[in-house]
Each structure stands twice: as C-alpha cells, then as structure tokens.
Amino acid sequence: AETIAMEAKHRGVTVTLALPTDTDTPGFERENQSKPEETKIISGSGGLAKPEDVGRRIVHDALKGSFFSIMGLESWILSILCVGMAPWKGPVLCVLQFYLLGPLRMVGLLIQWNFQRIIKKCAKDREN
C-alpha cells in the first residue's frame, strides 16, 4: 500500500489501508464454523462491528485521504506500529508516532506474548 500511495500521489490519487475489526457478515459467520479455537479467542477480544459502521468509516477515511482507516484500539495501535514508510500526514501525527512507537512496541510484544500463550494452551488442550 505504501508503494502504491507513493506512485499514485502525483496523480492526486490516495490509498487507504483499512484495518477494521471483525465484521458481522455472513462470510464471518462461515469463517467461524471452521476457525481454530485459538483464533476465536484471539480475535474475540476485538469485538464485532456492524458492516454499515465499517463501510461508513472506510468510505469516510478514503474520501478524506487518510492512509490508515482504523476502528478500535487494536487497529489504532497497529497503525502506529506499522507506520514505517506510510505517507506523511502532518507534523502532529508525525510527532505522536515518534513518541508512541517505542512504548507501543512494548505493548505489541505483550500482545504477541499473550497470543503465543493462548496458542500453546489450545495446542496442549487438543493433545490431551
């Protein structure tokens, strides 16, 4: 997405990378029928959004020219942790990203540790 955003910018085209939470759709219901238990536990913490809300948010952010379209705390944390080569969106956001990247990396590591703990527990439960 970062590369396409850079290549298209001079034409006035913006790219929006959507990071929505799980969305209450028929596809999500089907996915849950075969989803591993650990995935259900991990993704369950983010909540379930209405498709109308997700769609409205993505369209709003795309029309505004936002690079990231976020919904919820996890999505916001990802937008900071994955900022890397994302387009410049002003000094305030840049300073915020600069100061939050280090602390949020620690939060990300704790989240990963928790996910690994869940995965190991589910694997152990399956073996027993």
Report whether pLDDT(115) > 90.
yes
pLDDT band at 127 (very low <50, low <70, confident <90, very high): very high
Helix 37-44 to helix 91-127 angle (10° resolution) is 150
For residue 79, give its domain range. Answer: 2-127
C-alpha 75/C-alpha 61 separation (Å) is: 14
pLDDT tops 80 at residue 46: no
pLDDT tens track for 100-111: 999 999 999 999
Q: How many domains does the chain have?
A: 1
Q: Which of 75 and 119 is assigned the larger pLDDT? A: 119
6 pLDDT above the threshold of 90: yes
Q: Report whether pLDDT(120) > 90.
A: yes
pTM for the model stands at 0.80
Averaged pLDDT of the chain: 93
37: closest CA among 105, 121, 127?
121
- State how far the Cα of 16 lies from the Cα of 95, in Å rounded to an integer: 21
